[in-house]
Amino acid sequence: MVNFNAHKKMVFVIAGLLVLSLSLSSCDTLRQKFTRKKKQGEEDQAMVPVLEPEEYPAPQLNPELNYKENYDLIKAWYTDMWTAIDDRSTAKYIHYIITQVTNHIDQMKLLVDAPTQANLAKLEGFLNYYMSSLDDSWQVRNVSRIRSDLIEFDRFLRDHLRADRIKGHFVRVIPAKAESNP
Q: Per-residue pLDDT tens for 62-108?
A: 778 888 888 888 888 888 888 888 888 888 888 898 899 899 888 88
- Share of the chain residues as helix, strand and coil, in percent rounded to the nearest 5: 65, 0, 30
3-class SS of residue 170? strand
User: What is the distance between the alpha carbons of residues 5 and 155, in angstroms, rounded to a whole number?
Assistant: 92
Q: Is residue 121 within 8 Å of 46, Cβ to Cβ?
A: no
Q: Name the pTM for this structure.
A: 0.59
CA dihedral 98, 100, 103, 105 (to 10 degrees): -70
CB proximity list for 109: less than 8 A, separation 6 or greater: 117, 120, 121
User: What is the distance between the alpha carbons of residues 103 and 15, in angstroms, rounded to a whole number?
Assistant: 79
User: What is the distance between the alpha carbons of residues 101 and 68, in angstroms, rounded to a whole number?
Assistant: 14
Instruction: Say if residue 122's pLDDT is above 70.
Output: yes
| Residues making up the chain, counted from first to last | 182
Q: Is residue 67 within 8 Å of 163, Cβ to Cβ?
A: yes
The region of weakest confidence among 9-18, 47-56, 61-70, 74-83 is 47-56
Mean pLDDT of the chain: 77
What phi and psi values does residue 170 have, to the nearest 5 degrees? -80, 145
